[in-house]
């Protein structure tokens, strides 16, 4: 994909997001993932990790109740409970427990601040995903779904394998609305295999 085309596409989703009242163009990524894989079901309860400014939460809240978590603050949204906290910290998990015990899907668009050192950024992205998976294992109902953004690289295959062992169907997905062809990919996992 040429740079020119990437810019055009980015601009297109930015304008569409404004027009349709979404807080971020990333809303379209979740819409595309959900149109294809049906990860959000009507009447469900969901945890949205790395939720600010709220584009994914806006989409998920149309299906059911959302508990959203981010390091950064987020403006209130209907049907969304917001927790400001670090998803890698136990205290944040305890706060989530204060609102939900079991959920139908855990979705994570969390990503580290980009340092420019790809090896480091990739490792941080995988660390965030490890923690998102931990939260998924803690809260998902049997049969529940998990979506997680990850930067491709050295640690990606082993993380993907780990997810494969815990879900019935796992697909790496690059949504059309992603900014670049590059490194960003979403792992879409359905049918959590609950051991307990």
Ligand X SMILES: C[S@@+](CC[C@H](N)C(=O)[O-])C[C@H]1O[C@@H](n2cnc3c(N)ncnc32)[C@H](O)[C@@H]1O
- Annotated catalytic residues are 149
Indicate the residue among 112 and 191 with the shorter CB distance to ligand X. 112
DSSP the chain: --HHHHHHHHHHHHHHHHHHT-SSTTHHHHHHHHHHH--S-TT-EEEEES-TT-HHHHHHTTTSEEEEEESS-----TTEEEEES-TTSHHHHHHHHTT-S-EEEEEE---PPP-S-HHHHHHHHHHHHHHHHHHHHHHEEEEEEEEEEEE-STTHHHHHHHHHTTEEEEEEE--TT-S-SSSEEEEEEEEE----
CB-nearer residue toward ligand X: 86 or 137: 86
- By CB under 6 A, tell whether 177 contacts ligand X: no
Q: Are 59 and 17 in contact (CB under 8 A)?
A: no
Q: Within 36-75, which residues bind ligand X (CB under 6 A)?
A: 50-56, 69-72
Q: Which is nearer to ligand X, 77 or 189 (CB)?
A: 77
Nearer to ligand X, 86 or 152 (CB): 86
What is the closest distance, in whole angstroms, from the C-beta atom of residue 110 to ligand X in the complex? 4
Dist CA 148 CA 164 (whole Å) = 13
| x-marked contacts with ligand X along 68-107 as a string, rule CB under 6 A | -xxxx-------------xxx-------------------
Footprint on residues 3-32 left by ligand X (CB under 6 A): 23-24, 26-27
The Cα 52–Cα 28 span in angstroms is 15
Size of the residue set binding ligand X (CB under 6 A): 23
Interface characters, 131-170, with ligand X (x: CB under 6 A)? ----------------------------------------
CB of 59 to ligand X, least distance (A): 8
Binding site for ligand X (CB under 6 A): 23-24, 26-27, 50-56, 69-72, 86-88, 109-112, 128
């Amino acid at each position: 994909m040429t740079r020119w085309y990437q810019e055009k596409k980015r601009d297109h989703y930015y304008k569409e997001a404004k027009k349709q009242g979404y807080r971020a163009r990333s809303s379209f990524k979740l819409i595309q993932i959900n149109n294809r894989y049906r990860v959000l079901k009507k009447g469900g309860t969901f945890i949205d990790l790395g939720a600010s400014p709220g584009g994914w939460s806006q989409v998920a809240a149309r299906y059911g109740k959302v508990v959203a978590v981010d390091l950064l603050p987020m403006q209130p949204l209907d049907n969304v409970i917001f927790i400001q906290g670090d998803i890698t910290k136990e205290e944040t998990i305890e706060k989530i427990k204060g609102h939900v015990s079991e959920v139908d899907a855990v979705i994570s668009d969390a990503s580290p601040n980009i340092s420019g050192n790809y090896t480091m950024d990739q490792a941080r992205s995988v660390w965030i995903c490890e923690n998102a998976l931990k939260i998924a294992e803690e809260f998902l109902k049997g049969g529940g779904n998990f979506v997680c953004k990850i930067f491709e690289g050295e640690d990606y295959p082993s993380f993907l394998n780990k997810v494969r062992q815990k879900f019935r169907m796992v697909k790496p997905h690059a949504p059309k609305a992603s900014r670049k062809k590059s490194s960003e990919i979403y792992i879409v996992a359905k049918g959590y295999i609950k051991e307990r």
